[in-house]
Amino acid sequence: MAGAAGGLVLSDLDRTLVWSRRTWDRAVDPDPGPLVCVEELDGAEHAYVTRAAYDELAEGARTDRLVWVTTRTPDQLRRLRLPAVRHALCLNAGRLLVDGVEDADFTAATSAAVASVTSAAGLVDGLGDLLEVPWVRRVRDADGVFCYLLMTGDEPPATWWDRLGAGVADAGWVMTPERTKTYLTPAPLTKGAGVARLLERTGLPLAAAAGDSLLDADMLALAAAALTPAGSYLDRHGWAHPTGERTQRRGGPLAGEEVARWLCARL
């Protein structure tokens, strides 16, 4: 397969290919069959793909055209024991790893793109007591590039969302609430923008992409074909793509296996 002509095939990771015991719905996926643990946290198994998905991805990774695109930091991405791919975009596509090593030119281009907006530290300082509320468990910094709020699951009042959104927008950032996290990202820092730079760098078209969240939407919009897991944020909120598809399975490793097969069929 290595060296075959064609476009890039991109995939988000968490809740798309990779599922933790916390994120998969045991009611609809109670027995996914043989699993491969691809991540440990604090000495315990944390995240999985099926054996069939792992083998499929290992074959696909023999090309230069299978690419991971994730909000994870470089260290969080390196923690995953997935088949090694040539290119991986992390930090919401703000960093490019080539054979596991950060590409300095790509990082510099990201820094230039976000230079016109408030820094992550400046944003958090400016939001002040809006972040010191009972429904925000913690504010996490992602390598100083963006940040996210870990939410308790309690529904915040609408007035808080309004005030937070206004403060974020005034700083030149974007707020993306999803499940138990609310992402705060600089407006120029999108997966679509990072992917566009990778496409320019490689000279290849974007053949296919898979993802589950609003943060994936502009990346998926660039692809000739797109896939999202059934029951994902995009699926539940009416996301549409001219050639968009969704998995048959919902919320677990077997959905991830469907994604893996779909991606690798397009390499």
3-state secondary structure the chain: CCCCCCCEEEECCECCCEEECCCCCCCCCCCCCCEEEEEEECCEEEEEEEHHHHHHHHHHCCCCCEEEECCCCHHHHHCCCCCCCCEEEECCCCEEEECCEECHHHHHHHHHHHCCCCCHHHHHHHHHHHHCCCCEEEEEEECCCEEEEEECCCCCCHHHHHHHHHHHHHCCEEEEEECCEEEEEECCCCHHHHHHHHHHHHCCCEEEEECCCHHHHHHHHHCCEEEEEECCHHHHCCCCCCCEEEEEEECCHHHHHHHHHHHHCCC
Looking at 186, 209, 227, the residue that finishes a domain is: 186
pTM of the model: 0.94
Where residue 22 falls among pLDDT bands split at 50, 70, 90?
confident
Looking at 133, 153, 186, the residue that finishes a domain is: 186
Residue 27 pLDDT > 50, yes or no? yes
Q: What is the pLDDT of residues 244-262, one digit of tens each?
A: 899 998 889 999 999 999 9
Task: Note whether 164 and 212 are same-domain residues.
Answer: no
Residue 59 lies in a domain: yes
Looking at 144, 164, 186, the residue that finishes a domain is: 186
Structural domain harbouring 87? 8-112+189-264
Q: What is the mean pLDDT of the chain?
A: 94
| For range 30-41, the mean pLDDT | 93
pLDDT at position 55, please?
98
Q: Could you give the number of structural domains in the chain? A: 2
Task: Note whether 57 and 182 are same-domain residues.
Answer: no
